[in-house]
Amino acid sequence: MSAIFQNYARYPLTFVKGEGARLTDENGRVFLDFGCGISVVNLGHSHPHVTKAIQEQAATLIHTSNLYRNPLQEQLADRLSRCGFGGDVFFCNSGAEANEAALKLARIYTNKKYDGKRSRVLTLQNSFHGRTYMTLSATGQDKVKKGFEPIMECFTHIRGGDFGSFLNEVKKGDVGAIILEIVQGEGGLEMLPRDYLVEVSEYCAKYDILLILDEIQTGFGRTGDIFAYKHYGITPDIMTLAKGIANGVPMGAVMAKHEVAEYLSAGTHGSTFGGNYLACAAAHAVLDVMTEKGFMLQVREKGDWFLGKLAEIFHQTEVTVHGTALMSGVKVPGRQKEFIENCMKNGLIVIPAGNDVVRIYPPLTVTYEELEEGLALIRKSASEMGIGD
């Protein structure tokens, strides 16, 4: 047995090559990848423009730390800010680090403005915000916390989509922030209602409660826009990003309104690797592609078409189709593991979410022919289990 930690229940597959929507294993078998490394490789494997940027940057300069100015990082922050709500940007290495930084920012903001009297943070039941100590405490799933108790006590988990539940807590006067995912990826592709998001956003703006949107999984095109919040006409105070930001090069980011971001002054937070030259070069290349005219439109069109076809397969069965655009999946009560393994046996990679949901995340660059191929493999896998048409 390898000396590596055994903290992952890995599938018995070893991939040696990736190209577009396909992965090749060590035996030469080719799989269709509709998992994208958990929504990380959103532009597909070895995207030529991203690969070229990484190669050129690796041959030039990879890392200097954040002790010195990094023009590539400054330019990337400006580009992200223009794509988002005009906030300031902090770079780190992962989604958990981004949420950790966002929660620290919320804490220092409310502590300084309200003398430590607004220390509580609301999060949603069934949410997932990471596996660091603070972010697992924020997560609304007990299985993530098991064995690590006692967790931090500053988090209160409320029902998503229930504005009354939100009001009951904020009216106690000690809430400084709420962190939520518009679509709960790890929580089973549960989507928050538009009315709820608007009501929470308006209340937060009126009473200076920070609205933190965790866009780690929904960001970078997965829902058919660069960020999911843009579909709802709301604006967060803080937004966290990672996964698809650099198409596989580890990177995370926090975007915050300037009047909030300024509370993290020099020496209050940092990251040795965050926003290094290599990651920034990859992220610039990702933005080059994703901001091309028509890119997000084709994601939405493919996503709508795919969700419709997926629903046809499971028409009149207990399996339900969830998601939006190319952030899609199916709920197969009690048979999640079986379904994933059956798809894998047939040559399709899909990934679990929650206890019963299977996430189906094709690359945003997928072709209609590849989507048809994936649907055929899903239909075959479902049929072999006695579900689907």
H or E stretch including 312?
A: helix 295-313
- Rounded percentage of the chain residues whose pLDDT exceeds 70: 99
pLDDT value at residue 387: 87
Strand partners for 253: 91, 241
Q: Residue 354: which pLDDT band, with cuts at 50, 70 and 90? A: confident
Q: State pTM to two decimals.
A: 0.97
**pLDDT tens digit string along 160-199?**
999 999 999 999 999 999 999 999 999 989 999 999 999 9
**pLDDT tens digit string along 129-172?**
999 999 999 999 999 999 999 999 999 999 999 999 999 999 99
Collapsing DSSP states into helix, strand and coil, what is residue 50?
Answer: helix
What's the token pair of residue 325? Answer: 């655009």
Q: Residue 355: which pLDDT band, with cuts at 50, 70 and 90? A: confident
**pLDDT tens digit string along 32-68?**
999 999 999 999 999 999 999 999 999 999 999 999 9
User: 278, 246 in Cβ contact below 8 A?
Assistant: no
pLDDT value at residue 100: 98
Largest CA distance in the chain: 61
Q: Domains of the chain (ranges plus CATH)? A: 15-33+293-385 (3.90.1150.10), 49-291 (3.40.640.10)
CA 185, chain centre distance (Å): 7
Q: What is the radius of gyration, based on Cα positions, of the chain? A: 21
CA distances from 280 to 99, 261, 285 (A): 19, 20, 9
User: 175, 118 in Cβ contact below 8 A?
Assistant: yes
Mean pLDDT of 344-349: 98
What's the token pair of residue 133? Answer: 């100590």
User: 91, 241 in Cβ contact below 8 A?
Assistant: no
- Rounded percentage of the chain residues whose pLDDT exceeds 90: 97
**pLDDT tens digit string along 191-224?**
999 999 999 999 999 999 999 999 999 999 999 9
Q: Is 349 exposed, middle or buried (0-12, 13-18, 19+ CB in 10 A)?
A: buried
H or E stretch including 232?
A: none
Q: Residue 1: which pLDDT band, with cuts at 50, 70 and 90? A: confident
pLDDT value at residue 270: 96
Helices 163-170 and 194-207, axial angle in degrees (round to 10): 20
pLDDT value at residue 344: 98
pLDDT value at residue 156: 98
User: 291, 226 in Cβ contact below 8 A?
Assistant: yes
What's the token pair of residue 96? Answer: 């958990």
- Parallel, antiparallel or unpaired: strands 252-256 and 238-241: antiparallel
Collapsing DSSP states into helix, strand and coil, what is residue 212?
Answer: strand
C-alpha–C-alpha distance, residues 167 and 190, integer Å:
21
Which parts of 251-294 fold into alpha helices (H)? 258-261, 277-290
**pLDDT tens digit string along 249-304?**
999 999 999 999 999 999 999 999 999 999 999 999 999 999 999 999 999 999 99
Average pLDDT, the chain: 97
Q: Residue 316: which pLDDT band, with cuts at 50, 70 and 90? A: confident
Strand partners for 241: 253
